[in-house]
Amino acid sequence: MKSRYLSALLIAAAGLSGAASLSSIPVFAQEHAAVEERGSAATRSAVIAAIDAYRTAVVKADRAGLDTAFHPDLSYGHTDGAVLSKVEQIDRTLAPGKRFTAVDIADAKVRSYGNVAYVTASWTFHLSKDDGTTSTARLSGLDVWTKGPRGWQLIARQLTRPAQ
């Protein structure tokens, strides 16, 4: 039902008229469809290797590793609403008084289009604080990775709490 309303809203907003224009907009979008991977196995492997390098840099608190993993134009969206630049995200990751003991990824789906790859996944961030407390954050995310002279780098991420 939501799909009908969304399609109608899109048509109205675009000011489209005529049957030919309407045929390009789907009337019924499939909701909750599984994401299918797209692209070559080699590209998938290279993107997953870049993700693993990022995870290692987080756990090792490796500033140089994070600098390599993050594209200069990084936009990193957090569940608290903060959207951080590359420098801000590195500083937040390496903030004193806490450290990540592990970063787990599950259900990663890679869709690549040339030098851009979209990755959907479930993330678990394990955190330990200097006061002895620990916490775990389970999040869903959409990453955008781009391939340039420094290899695959994260250029955009949006994390969200998973639906119940």
The total of structural domains in the chain comes to 2
* Closest-CA residue to 160 (of 90, 78, 85, 59): 78
Kindly state whether residues 29 and 68 are assigned to the same domain. no
CATH at residue 55: 3.10.450.50
pLDDT at 25 over 60: no
For the chain, what is the mean pLDDT? 85
Is the predicted pLDDT of residue 4 greater than 70, yes or no? no
Domain that holds residue 4: 1-33
In this structure, how many other beta carbons lie within 10 angstroms of the beta carbon of residue 22?
12
* Model pLDDT, residue 33: 61
Find where tokens 């489209």 sit: 16
Q: Are residues 16 and 95 in the same domain?
A: no
Q: For 28-45, what is each residue's pLDDT tens digit?
A: 444 456 778 999 999 999
